Structure formats: structure tokens, C-alpha cells
Structure 1
Amino acid sequence: MQTDSQMPEGQSTVADAPPDNWVDRYAPMGWRPWLRLSRADRPIGTWLLLLPCWWGIGLAMMADRPAWQDLWIAVACGVGAVLMRGAGCTWNDITDRDIDDKVARTRSRPIPSGQVTVPGALVWLVAQALAGFAILLTLGGAAILLGIASLALVGVYPFAKRFTWWPQVFLGLAFNWGVLLAWAAHMGNLAPAPLLAYLAGIAWTIFYDTIYAHQDAEDDALIGVKSTARLFGRDTPRWLAGFGAASVLLLALAVLATGTGGPGLLLGLAGVAGFGAHLLWQLRHFNMENSANCLKLFRSNRDAGLIVALFLALAGIV
């Protein structure tokens, strides 16, 4: 394994990682390539995987009642999101290694830059997946089955940009699965509320990942990689408005489908309204020609999702 001290100058960090991230500042040198492979230096993806899980817990609390097990479900989802996002990113980088070395933003990733070998990455992938499976086993039969089923989506996603202009849909299918899993961990079944929230999350993922994909639109065109950013082109703002509106509407329907009323219903809908306001703010500030702007707006979706999670949790408690 190559360490930072052995790598050529300029390859010791990943291009789009925050400059003050904890991996580059504090992690032991030998650990850094593996943590970068898992995107530990860029936690926004972990947040975007985790937040739908917390939506599912909040919705279940609204439909049923809060229970002490919900605290463990929330923690388990947090640990699981770190592990499974790391495993998913490792798999993505293994499959994309011949693409990543042709794109300016991604050629500094651990595999194309030579920090980690493909066999080493495969071992790291298995280790993370097994640890994630151990966490999953604590969440009950329905959640376990859903967790296993999600592996098909994780496996297919890296290849989507090779055969469809809509790879963001496949990302949405995988990244929002947690809303179903967390609901099932609490309730032991599925119902319209989490299914509506799942659809809302998919629309939200298309919204934020299209913004993200505009960073690479020119490079993607040169190497033939497809994305909604390339598909929508100059019409992107109009498409974003449509998917943002769909996400807000579906989330509101999910809240209503829990059957709760009174203050809980008002709090849930207030969270949806706050989420919608945040998406509108992103639309007003979106500049597809400015990569820094796209990355900033993409990262801001952590806050958009947290608004929903917080208000749903409050709605479930009152």
C-alpha cells in the first residue's frame, strides 16, 4: 500500500474533498487512502444516505408512537450509513477506475492515483459490508430482508451512467432505501407513508445530484458518460423546479398518510414547508457554469434533509 509520503506531490488529497476535512488533518497516514476510498473525507454522502433513514423513523413514530428502540434504530442507521456508504463508494471506485482517471475532479481518488490497489479495495469493500450486515442483524426480520434486497441497487448503480441518461434515478433508488428499512425496523411492515417518502427521496436525489453532476458535464461529454445534467442542459433549472416540487408534494402526502393529527400533523407539514423553502433557495442561487457553486449547493442538502428529520421527530414525540 502506498502512503501519502510515498505519493507524488499533488496526490496526497482528493480534489473535491473539503480542505479542512478530518482525514487529511488527523487520521494516521497509513489509514488515509482507505478512508478516502470510503469518502470519509467527504461526509455529505453519508448524510444523504442517513437522512432518509431518520425520515422513516420519524414517520413511524407519527403513525404509531415513539419507543426506546427508536434510539437504537437511529444510531444503527448512523453507523450503517457510514459503513454502507463506504462500501458503496469503494465498489463505485472499483468499477469506475478507468473513467475516474480521465476526469479532472476524480483522477486524484485512491485507485486511479495509485494509493490503493484493486485487490486491496475489494478486501476493504468486503470488510465494510460485513460490518454493515452485523448492524443490520439487530433491526428485525423485515428490515433485514429489505437491507439484503438493497444490495441489488447498490450493485447496479455504478453502471447506470453507461446505459441510461438517468443514472440519478438509480442513485435515488439506492440512497433512499433507508426510509423503508427504518420504518420496517420500527413497524415490522411497510405502508403508504414510507413508500411516498421513498418516492419523495428519489425526486430529491435527482434534484441534488443533477446539481452535483454539472461539475463534470464537460468531462462526461468527452468520455461519453451520461447524466441528467447533460440531458437537461440549459433547461436544468426548469427540471430542478419540477423534481423539487414533486419531492415536496410527496413528502406532504407521506406525512398525511401517517394518519396523525393535531400538533403532530402541523409539525410534520412545517418540516416539509421548510424543506421546500430550502430547495427554492437552492434554485434561486443555482449557477450551472460555476463548479464551486454546484458543489456548495449540493452539500447544502444535508441541511434540507435535516429540517425534515427534525420536524418529523418532533411530530412523532408530541
Structure 2
Amino acid sequence: MNSNSSRRQKTPLEHILRVALYICLLGMAAVYLMPFLVMFLTSLKDVEEIRSGTLLSLPGSLNFDAWVKAWGGACTGSSCNGIAPFFINSFQIVIPAVLISTIIGALNGYVISMWKFKGSDIFFGALLIGCFIPFQVILLPMARTLGWLGIANTTTGLVFVHVVYGVAFTTLFFRNFYQGIPSDLIKAARLDGAGFFTIFRRIILPISTPIIVVTIIWQFTQIWNDFLFGVAFSGFDTQPVTVALNNLVNTSFGGKEYNVDMAAAILAALPTLLVYVLAGKYFVRGLTAGAVKG
């Protein structure tokens, strides 16, 4: 019998329900994307057009002057160089912080799950508590620590802060992922004479790609979008783009330029948007592969 003819035909009611489901999903997506649409349309208008039109009115012409000004000419406090310098600051903070916290988290998770030692569960519990400590609690102790280390108001200091705060999360991710790896695999490698780092490099890392992607995306998003640590621990020349965006929005010389504000906000959000667009499917795969198990 033909396999196609053996399939059950959908009833008219099932077709109607399917269409209704898609309409509902499209409506929810439209509501969710509405703020972004308003921001994008506003960024393409001039100030007079913004004042005379509505939020969802289309621009009379494509005008990217606001984008150019937001990038290289808008004032963020006393400086009028746009958000470009602060964009670079954010990358200088995010890239090393993500890499260092991911590496430390992988090693911690590997040790806690594969190389049990006395007090390992207590150590993991202490790290787990770190996931629930509010940002505000560590501001004063961290400020004193940065001053004592001589890295206050520097990019290095911000990298240090994000690594310290992020290690609890990265350790949790890797530990839960490694819990699903058969212990016999590690025992066999030990019997063959493989040591701590050999097992980690040749056995654990090659199968850790899903959780590494999850951790990188998570850390990148958290660090790039951070405002509190940036405004508390940075100097003027080391501020991340989130702090510069706040300064731009709250700085006004003459009339308020909403189009420039919206363009700057979109530019500041582009890296995280691109990360999820390009690596979103790998993020989901990593989660389903064990990132939130245990």
C-alpha cells in the first residue's frame, strides 16, 4: 500500500485549528517585535517628521543621518564622538571575560563532576549560591578589591568583575553537562595512563561543543548588556556601550533627537542580536544536550 495513501487525512476542523494557531503565533510575534519596529522607523526619520507623524508612520525617505551621528558624532556627556569608542570598549571587556570565565567554568565543572574530592559538594554549593547573589550586594566589596589590586576604573578591572561573577554560572552549566558523561569513560582513560589534563583535552573538550556554545552565548549576552557594573567600576575612557547609550539619551544640546537615540539603541543591541540569529539553534541544542539538567 502506498505510504501516502495510508496517512490519515486531516479533518476540516484540524485545518482550521492549525490556521488559527499560526495566526495566533504571528500576532504574538508582531506584538513582540512592535517596539523594535517603532525604534527602527523612528531612526529613519528627521526630528520634524517625528513630531508631526505617528509612531508607526513610515518615513518619507530613507534617511540614515541619525545612524551616522549616533555612531560617530552624538554627544555622550562632554564627549561628542558617538558610541563608536565605547563599542570598542565593550568588545575589549566581553571577549576576554567570556573566554576566561568559560575556561574556568569548564575546568571547575570537570573537576566537580569527574574528580570527586573531599568537600567537592560543599564547593559546588558555594558556587551555586553565587548564582543568586544580587549585583548590588557585591558593589562595595568589589570596589575595594579593585582598588586594592590597582585596577579600578580600567578595562582589566571590568573583565575581572565579570569573570568573578560569571564563574558560578559557567561552572553550573558545565558541571550539569558533564554529569551525563559515563564515568566508565574516564575510568578507562585513567587505566590507560591518561592524566588530569590529558583526559580533559582529548576526551572531555571534544564532546563539550554544545555546552561551550551555550556558555559563550549566555556570558556574551549578560556581559554586553550589563549596565550596573559598567557604570560603577569604569572610568570615562573605559565605559561600555550601555553606559554610553544612557549618557547619550540623557545628554541634550538644543532639541531632543529621538531618531539619534533610537539608532544608537539599535546599534548597541546589534551584537547580541547577531549572536542569537547566527548561533541560536546551537544554543537550543546545547540546552537540550544537558545544560539545564541535574
**Does the pair score TM above 0.5?**
no
Does 1 or 2 have the higher relative contact order (CA < 8 Å, sep 6+)?
A: 2
Q: Which has the greater radius of gyration?
A: 2
- TM-score norm. by structure 1 comes to 0.24
